[in-house]
Amino acid sequence: MDMKTEILRLLRESGDYISGQEFCRRFGVSRTAVWKAVNQLKEEGYGIEAVQNKGYRLRSNPDVLSSSELKSRIQNQWAGNRIYFYEETGSTNIDAKRLGEEGAEHGTVVVADKQSAGRGRRGRSWQSPAGKDIYFTILLRPPFLPGKAAGLTLVMALSVAQAIEGACSLKTGIKWPNDVVLNGKKICGILTEMNVETDYIQHVVIGVGINVNLDVMPEEISRTATSILLESGRETARAELLQEVLARFEENYGMYERDLDLRDMLEEYNGRLVNLGKQVRVLDPKGEFEGIARGIDASGELLVETQDKNTVRVYAGEVSVRGMYGYV
C-alpha cells in the first residue's frame, strides 16, 4: 500500500484525530510529504479536517470510488488483492480477460466508475453511467473442470445478495440463476465468461453490475429494474459495498472449491429464491415448457415440476426462466 492509501486506512479506522507527527514517524517522511498526501486525498473528494495541535480527521464517508479507497479497504486473502481501477473503460470483463491472457493472478479485480461498452447477457448491453453504480469483474483460475464453472455465477449472486444485506441492511432475493432482486425488480446482473482449453479451465471472469445510487432508471428498463437508492432512499458508499461483496465471495468460493458443489450454500440460496413455488416458463432451446420452480439442487440446477408431476432439472448455462406474471 502506498502512503496515501495507508493514511486513508488509518484515518478511517481510528475515526478520530491523528497527528501529522504520528504519520511522519510511522512513514519516516517529512511533514510536507504528509500534507501533500492529505491534499491529494482532499482532491479526490474526502472531507479531511486539519486542526492545530490535534492533527487530521476524516470527516465524512463519501461515495468515492478510487484506487486508494478500494486498496485501503480490501484486505482479503486473495479476492481483490490486486485491483485495477479505471475512471472509464469499455468493459471490465474485456479488461479482465486480457489480464487473464497475460497471466494475472487468481482473484485479480477490475473496477470501473464508468463503462462505455458495458455488456450484458445474451448480447445485450449494460448501461454504465459514471459516479453511480458498481461495475467490476473478478478473474479466477479454478482448479476444477469446466462443467463446474456455471455454479460460480450462483456463488457470486449469493455473495452480492449477502453483501447488500450486510452493507445496506436490505433483504434481497435471487432470481435464478443469478439476478439479484429488490422488491421484485433487478438490481444486479452477472456475466460469467470462461476460457477453456480442452477439459481445463484457463480462467473464468465473473462480471458484476450493481445498480447502487442511480436516481433515475432509464425508461426502457424501469419496469423490471431498480437501484438500491430508489428502493431505500439512501445513498450507499460503493467502495464499502464492493469490499463486502469480495469478502463474501472469497468465503463462499472457498466452500465451492472444497465441496465442488453448493451444498453449504443451498439453504441460503433457496431461502432467497424469488422463483420458489412460482410458475415459471423455461426457455430451453430444445423446447420451451412451464412448471413450478421447486428450488435448486447442490449442482445449481433449478428443479422445475411440470404439470404431469415430473421434475425437470434445468441447467443454468443454457436456459433462462421467465416469471409468468412479470419479471419475477
Residues that bind ligand BTN (CB under 6 A): 91-93, 115, 118-121, 124, 126, 135-137, 189-191, 207-209
Cβ pair 135, 128 in contact under 8 A: yes
SS3 120: coil
Closest residue to bound ligand BTN by CB: 189
Q: How far is the CB of 178 from ligand BTN (least distance, A)?
A: 8
Q: Cell 471490465 maps to which residue?
A: 92
Nearer to ligand BTN, 106 or 119 (CB): 119
Give 309's DSSP letter. S
Give CA–CA dist 106/104, Å, rounded: 7
Grid cell locating 6 = 495507508
Between 58 and 111, name the residue whose CB sits nearer to ligand BTN.
Answer: 111
CB of 119 to ligand BTN, least distance (A): 4
Angle, nearest 10°, between helix axes 238-259 and 150-168?
A: 140
Nearest CB to ligand BTN, comparing residues 38 and 140: 140
Q: How far is the CB of 309 from ligand BTN (least distance, A)?
A: 32
Task: Give whichever of 194 and 208 is closer to ligand BTN, judged by the CB atom.
Answer: 208
Beta pairing class for 173-175 and 55-58: unpaired
State in angstroms the smallest separation of the CB of 56 from ligand BTN: 35
Write down the least CB distance from residue 53 to ligand BTN, Å. Answer: 46
Nearest Cα to Cα of residue 327 among 222, 204, 195, 196: 222
Q: Which is nearer to ligand BTN, 56 or 136 (CB)?
A: 136
193 touches 204 (CB < 8 A): yes
119 vs 128: CA distance, rounded Å:
9
